[in-house]
Amino acid sequence: MINEKESIVIKFAGDSGDGMQLIGSIFSDNSAVFGNDLATFPDYPSEIRAPRNTLAGVSGFQVHIGKRRIYTYGDFCDILVVMNPASLKSNIKWAKKGATIILDEDAFNDEACEKAGYTSNPLYDGSLNVYHVIKAPITSLTRKTLEKFQLTPKIADRSRNMFALGVIYYLLNRKLDLTIAYFEKKFGKDSVAIETNRLVLEAGYNFAENIEALDSKIHVPPAKLEKGKYRNITGNIATAWGLLAAAEKAGLSLFLGSYPITPASDILIELSRHKSLGVKVFQAEDEIAAITSAIGASFAGALGVTSTSGPGLSLKTEALGLAVMTELPLVVVDVQRAGPSTGMPTKAEQSDLYHALFGRTGEAPIPVIAASSPSNCFYYAFEAAKIAVEHMTPVILLTDGFLGNGSQLFRIPKMAEMPSIHPPFANPGIEYKPYKRDPKNGVRYWAIPGMDGMRHRIGGLEKEDVTGDVSTDPINHQRMVELRKNKVLKIAEHLPMQTVVGNEKAELLIVSWGSTGGVILSTVEELLQEGYSIAHAHFHYLFPLPSNTAELLGRYKKVLVCELNSGQFANYLRMCFPQYLFNQYNKIQGLPFTQIEIKEAILNHL
């Protein structure tokens, strides 16, 4: 029998070395090829390898697939896969009542249970009676399946994750051929690796079939999506691709100066793979060298980019002021994580908004925009580059660990669909002055070293208007500060109007930005169907704000700002619009909002 579902949430959990991120990614790719829409949430510890069977070492990967558009990772899971007692204890709170739990019963010995903090073995004490538990001897059956290869138990156990994946494929009525093809591509000529993983995957599938693990298989039909070519993509890779697309559209070389940092390193890794497209990647010795190399590349006529997370953004602060003073295009990608200081490196937070808006010495305004999903990281990276180049300014793009590491189905656009980008190059036929500006938008012209007759010098000292000579004149300083500020504020004239979902005259407006957009949108859509008087405004452009922001906020009796920090955007809105009252709902736990939390907050404010 087949039980058709509109959507389903699955969570894989185990020790850091159990390969949960891998099988979560494989299953997500399988679902994407099958045609499901999806969203994923990798959740792993910051320790490189915590002691086995401890709560600190649990690594998880949650995936939400559906036949409709999926905006969230899902609050609670329908199926929970756990490889040891610690992963069960850490994640049982995320399983729905009646959920299916697949576990490796071989791992539930007294020692492991005690290490995880259990006073009794959960397999036998009745605590799991409200769930449908599939007790699979995953370890012993994996070893038995691989007996002929004469592998050590430690080596054989590396394939346990594939057994669990095989069980999932049976439950969801999925074929194995795509994953077997993945083994062949990944391992190449290593026939033993291909064969061992294939056999264990099939063993898991056959085990579930033989015990008739469920009364009926689960079927999640393909989603009805816009025609095109799709792939499952993480936010960090989408960001890298957006920068590549922008460089091509602008006719510029792309230069990335970066220092590895969690959770932003994948941008550096991805761009390093595209030297054939003219990308130059420099892994710097520190964050300061990374950003200043990118500024130097922009001076030389490239699209300069640097990527980092919160601690790295702090170190880049002085050079950000240099980029403002020189008025060169620069994209700074900040994949936010929980702070302060080193904080929780593998957990996300909307922690850096204040820093992005205000974290410079002197009057140094920088446009700030934020992506809201793994897939639209592509478009907002492109937009950040477009603004930087056309307005000759550094731009900060805020993503976070949820977006950077999470994945989503992405329709790959054709380059012809992307807007053009026009660098404001100096005209060879006109006498060049480095701070002579376009009267329409206040943007200075970009002269590339080597252009005949356009030799010039720029730097961190204050410049005289037009000529660019070093100046300490007080009147000139005020004029230059105002010119730089007005140039950035005029960007608002080129931004799309802020839109809302829901009733434009509703009682309550819910405001969000960044990665909270999907879960809030899903909750708002449900409450609208139930008849509640609400609306939702999700902001992508944070500075400058869209030009209709004040008028939009004034339509509503109440405004509730939801964000994963202590209220940074709410306070920023209070500063910009003191005539309005802003309520706030905040969470600072290194975890995303759940729909249940957002729904309760909305109803409390109605």
Q: Walk me through the domains of the chain, giving residue ranges and CATH numbers.
A: 2-219 (3.40.920.10), 231-417 (3.40.50.970), 501-605 (3.40.50.920)
Pick from 138, 118, 137, 115: which is nearest to 128 by CA? 118
Q: Is the pLDDT reported for residue 594 higher than 90?
A: yes
Q: Which residues of 469-493 are buried (b: 16+ CB within 10 A; e: fewer)?
A: eebeeeeebeebeeebeebbeebbe
Instruction: From residue 180, give the alpha-carbon distance in Å to each of 157, 220, 426, 434.
Output: 19, 21, 55, 59
Average pLDDT over residues 356-374: 97
Instruction: Provide the pLDDT for residue 389.
Output: 98
Q: Is the pLDDT reported for residue 293 higher than 90?
A: yes
Q: Which residues of 218-254 are buried (b: 16+ CB within 10 A; e: fewer)?
A: bebeebeeeeeebebbbbbbbbbbbbbbbbbbbebbb
Q: Distance between CA 543 and CA 302 in Å, rounded?
A: 24
Q: Distance between CA 449 and CA 436 in Å, rounded?
A: 17
More confident residue, 504 or 354: 354
Average pLDDT over residues 401-407: 96
Which residues, including other chains, have CB under 8 Å from residue 176's CB and lie 6 or more apart? Answer: 166, 169, 198, 201, 202, 205
Instruction: From residue 256, give the alpha-carbon distance in Å to each of 289, 294, 295, 341, 391.
Output: 11, 6, 10, 24, 20
Q: Is the pLDDT reported for residue 34 higher than 90?
A: yes
Q: What percent of the chain has pLDDT over 90?
A: 94
Q: What is the pLDDT of residues 297-328, one digit of tens each?
A: 999 999 999 999 999 999 999 999 999 999 99
3-state secondary structure of 47: coil
3-state secondary structure of 517: helix
- Secondary structure (DSSP) of 150-181: T--HHHHGGGHHHHHHHHHHHHTT--SHHHHH
Q: Is the pLDDT reported for residue 476 higher than 80?
A: yes
Q: Distance between CA 323 and CA 54 in Å, rounded?
A: 46
Instruction: Provide the pLDDT for residue 215.
Output: 77
Average pLDDT over residues 164-189: 95
Q: Is the pLDDT reported for residue 409 higher than 80?
A: yes
- Token pair of 542 as six digits: 């944070």
Instruction: Provide the pLDDT for residue 223.
Output: 94
Dihedral sign for Cα 481, 487, 488, 493, please: positive
Query: Among the listed ranges 52-66, 206-220, 243-257, 458-472, which one has the minimum average pLDDT value?
Result: 206-220
Q: What is the pLDDT of residues 99-152, one digit of tens each?
A: 999 999 999 999 999 999 999 999 999 999 999 999 999 999 999 999 999 999
Instruction: Provide the pLDDT for residue 397.
Output: 98
Q: Which helix (H) or strand (E) holds 346?
A: none
Q: Distance between CA 372 and CA 537 in Å, rounded?
A: 12
Q: Distance between CA 220 and CA 574 in Å, rounded?
A: 45
How many Å is the Cα radius of gyration of the chain? 26
**Any idea which residue has 């959990």 for tokens?**
13
**Per DSSP, what are the bridge partners of residue 283?**
258
Q: Is the pLDDT reported for residue 502 higher than 90?
A: yes
Q: Distance between CA 605 and CA 371 in Å, rounded?
A: 27
Q: What percent of the chain has pLDDT over 70?
A: 100
- Asked whether 63 and 94 are in contact (CB, 8 A), the reply is no
| DSSP code at position 591 | S
- Secondary structure (DSSP) of 562-590: EESSSSHHHHHHHHH-TTS--EEEE--SS
Q: Is the pLDDT reported for residue 513 higher than 80?
A: yes
Average pLDDT over residues 76-94: 97
> What confidence category does residue 48 fall into, taking pLDDT thresholds of 50, 70 and 90?
confident
On average, the pLDDT of the chain sits at: 96
